[in-house]
Amino acid sequence: MTVRAVVGRIGFYVLIALITAFMAIPVLWLLFAPFDRTPSLSTSLPEWTWQNFTGLLANPYALTSLGNSVLLALGSMVLVTVLGALAAYALSRVRIPGRDGLLYALLLLSSIVTGTAAMVPIFLLMFELNLIDSQLGVVLVLSGGLLPAAIFILKDFMDGTPRSYEESARVFGAGPLQILRDIVLPVVRPGIATIAVWTVVNVWGNFLTPFILLRSPEKSPAAVVLYTFYTEGGQANLGLISAFSLLYSIPVVAMYVFVNRRYGFRFHGGIKR
Binding-residue total with other proteins (CB under 8 A): 18
Residue 174 as a binder of other proteins (CB under 8 A): the answer is yes
Cβ closest to other proteins, residue 22 vs residue 172: 172
Considering only 47, 133, 167, 218, the residue that binds other proteins (CB under 8 A) is 167
Minimum gap (Å) between residue 270 Cβ and other proteins: 15
Alpha helix ranges (H) inside the chain? 3-32, 51-58, 62-93, 99-113, 119-128, 135-159, 163-171, 176-179, 185-187, 189-205, 208-213, 222-225, 238-262
Torsion angles phi and psi, residue 230, rounded to 5? -120, 160
Residue 261 as a binder of other proteins (CB under 8 A): the answer is no
CA 4 – CA 27 distance, rounded (Å): 35
What DSSP string runs through 181-218? IIIIHHHTHHHHHHHHHHHHHHHHH--HHHHHH---GG
Residue 160 as a binder of other proteins (CB under 8 A): the answer is no
Considering only 90, 169, 255, 259, the residue that binds other proteins (CB under 8 A) is 169
Minimum gap (Å) between residue 122 Cβ and other proteins: 40
Residue 125 as a binder of other proteins (CB under 8 A): the answer is no
Amino acid, res. 34: P
Stretch that binds other proteins, among 173-181, 194-202, 214-222, 232-240 (CB under 8 A): 173-181
CA 198 – CA 142 distance, rounded (Å): 12
Residue 173 as a binder of other proteins (CB under 8 A): the answer is yes
Q: Are 265 and 259 in contact (CB under 8 A)?
A: yes
Residues 189-218 interacting with other proteins (rule: CB under 8 A) = 189
- The residues that touch other proteins, with contacts defined as CB under 8 A, are 162, 164-165, 167-174, 178, 182-183, 186-187, 189, 273
